[in-house]
Amino acid sequence: MNFIDILFLAVGLAMDAFAVSVFSGTRKEIRGFRPAFRLSFHFGLFQFLMPVIGWFAGHYIQSYIESFDHWIAFGLLAFIGTRMIIAGFDKNNNSTKENPSKGLNLIMLSVATSIDALAVGFSLAVVKVDIWYPSLIIGVITAAISLIGLEIGYRLGLKFGKKMEIAGGIILILIGLKILLEHLLA
């Protein structure tokens, strides 16, 4: 697998993290270096780790989780998306004070946006590609694209406010539905 192939693979895998980052960037809690670093670092880290886990697990575990991995991704994204929609309609900002760059929200988003990378790891194991270099590129590209998404989200949030939070929640749910339908209809 050459660098260009890996780069295209990395960008493709980073698109879910990019979409989540755009809409996370609209939140007040994601202002400044630390929360932006946490979010982009974790998205990149999980995108690095999931192919490695998938590669090492190979076919042994694939048969156990492939029947429901899409449900996990859908459930996590739908849960967080619904919370974002509720927060977007809350005029007093009381519905949620959770920060998508901290705690359980960050872990759930990181897992949900990197489930596809697990399958890529399985695929790379089957074709006997060494996993470390592609995983490193995937992680770095995802972290960089997530930072870009956060900046875009910040600018959109300034312009459109809470409407972007509602749109972000809808987008997360749609990404979850896309993942679910791709697996169910395949």
What pLDDT score was predicted for residue 61? 66
Q: What was the pLDDT predicted at 138?
A: 96
- Helices 69-89 and 103-126 sit at what angle, rounded to 10 degrees? 150
Assign residue 3 a region: left if phi > 0, alpha if psi is -120 to 50, beta otherwise? alpha
**Residue boundaries of the structural domains of the chain:** 3-184
Q: Which two tokens stand for residue 21?
A: 């980052």
> For position 78, what pLDDT does the model report?
82
41-99: pLDDT as tens digits: 999 999 999 999 989 887 566 667 677 777 877 887 788 778 778 877 876 654 445 67
pLDDT tens, residue by residue, 22-38: 888 887 778 889 999 99
166 close to 85: Cβ distance less than 8 angstroms: yes
CA distance 29 to 99: 6
Query: Of 4-18, 80-94, 108-122, 148-162, where does mean pLDDT reach its minimum?
Result: 80-94
Average of per-residue pLDDT across 137-149:
96
Residue 27: predicted pLDDT = 79
CB 154 within 8 Å of CB 40: no
Stated pTM of the model:
0.74
